[in-house]
Amino acid sequence: MRILITAGPTREPIDAVRYIGNRSSGQMGAALVSAALAAGHEVTLILGPVSVAMPSVSRRIDVETAAQMHQAVLFEFPSHDLLMMAAAVADYRPKHVHSGKLARKGSLTIECEPTEDILADVGRMKRANQRCVGFSLEMEGSVARAKEKLARKNVDLIVYNPTNTMNSLSVQAVLLWADGREEKLAVLAKAEFAKLLLGRAAKLFEI
């Protein structure tokens, strides 16, 4: 398969030095890339700013913001069979980016707007022979929100995982399929989980 994997956080600039970030370490993405390469697949990686070491791939696109990741994914997806959207893309970005460095004086209000919805856009452009795996990082007990995303965004399989997955070496996920199936997994090391998920994703093409 030709697999497109996104990984890491995005950063949304507030001014020349400050940004809104998130705690994604990129470890899940790194595990997926390793598992995909080990299984002989061709991998394109679209990567936000991370500090963990990433396995080297034939094609890697470094991005910073959600807008850049959106553009890269929409450009790359048509030439791939499968998208695994492991990146923790910012949902919000400051409406106005100050070109200088904001001086410290009084209070500061940062008005934010929603970023592009990458999964939803991919869901709209997806061909019959393509598949898409999404990730839904939620507080515990919010499987309902993950299910709603699955249907609304035309995703084939969503990985629901609790927020404490970030920066952790292990993951306890629930897999949610478009046909309503649910699979609750045990606590797994990210490497084991990546291998399992890749197997489930391969089976999506038999549907």
Catalytic positions are 22
Q: Among residues 110 and 185, whose Cβ is nearest to a second copy?
A: 110
Q: Rounded to a whole number, what is the largest CA-CA distance in the chain?
A: 60
Cα-based distances in Å from 46 to 63, 110, 146, 189:
7, 28, 23, 23
Q: Helix (H, G, I), strand (E, B), or coil: what is residue 30?
A: helix
Residue 87 CB, shortest distance to a second copy, in Å, is 13
CB of 67 to a second copy, least distance (A): 15
Token pair in block for residue 76: 């790359």
Shortest spacing between CB 54 and a second copy, in angstroms? 13
- Hey, CA dihedral for 60, 66, 72, 77, is it positive or negative? positive
Instruction: Sort strands 170-171 and 188-189 into parallel, antiparallel or unpaired.
Output: antiparallel
Nearer of residues 103 and 128 to a second copy, judged by Cβ: 103
Q: Please report, in angstroms and rounded to a whole number, the separation of the first and last CA atoms in the chain.
A: 16
- One-letter identity of residue 47: L
Closest distance of CB 179 from a second copy, Å: 25
Paired residues of 158 in beta bridges: 134, 176
Nearest residue (CB) to a second copy, 24 versus 130: 24
* Nearest CB to a second copy, comparing residues 137 and 176: 137
> Which residues here bind a second copy, judged by CB under 8 A?
11, 14, 16-24, 51, 88, 90-92, 95, 100-104, 106-114, 137-139, 145, 163, 166
